Homo-oligomer: A and B are copies of this chain.
Amino acid sequence: MVSLADNNTIFIGKKPTENYVFSTIMLFTNGAPEVSIKARGMAIKRAVDVAEIVKNRMESMMKTQVSYKEIKIATEKVQREDGESNVSSIDIVLKK
């Protein structure tokens, strides 16, 4: 399964895009009013893909309208062996 916090958040990692799409739709199906999709660095593109696929699929197959409540981008500090470095992050909040 996909990494999942208590508060209806999906953290995007290196698994196939479909895994995260499935988990996000499951959260909505189980009653979540909104789902936050979070990613850093190279996973940012996948987060955008997941959000768009979920939105389009829920509209076309489940006749359920979802919209973007908020899309935030930020910079986070990450500890590496050779010191601290910056990494961009995204947080996409989908709302049913």
User: Hey, which bits of chain A sit against chain B, CB under 8 A?
Assistant: 41-42, 44-45, 48-49, 51-52, 56, 68, 71-75, 86, 88, 90, 92
CB distance from A50 to the nearest CB of B (A): 9
Instruction: Report the bound CA distance from A42 to B90 in whole Å.
Output: 15
Q: A52, B71: Cβ atoms under 8 Å?
A: no
Contact of A73 among B51, B74, B75 (CB under 8 A): B51
Set of chain B residues within 8 Å of A56, measured between Cβ atoms: 75
A–B pairs, 24, beta carbons within 8 Å: A41-B45, A42-B45, A44-B44, A44-B45, A44-B48, A45-B45, A45-B88, A48-B73, A48-B88, A48-B90, A49-B88, A51-B73, A52-B73, A52-B74, A52-B75, A52-B86, A52-B88, A56-B75, A68-B72, A68-B73, A71-B71, A71-B72, A71-B73, A73-B92
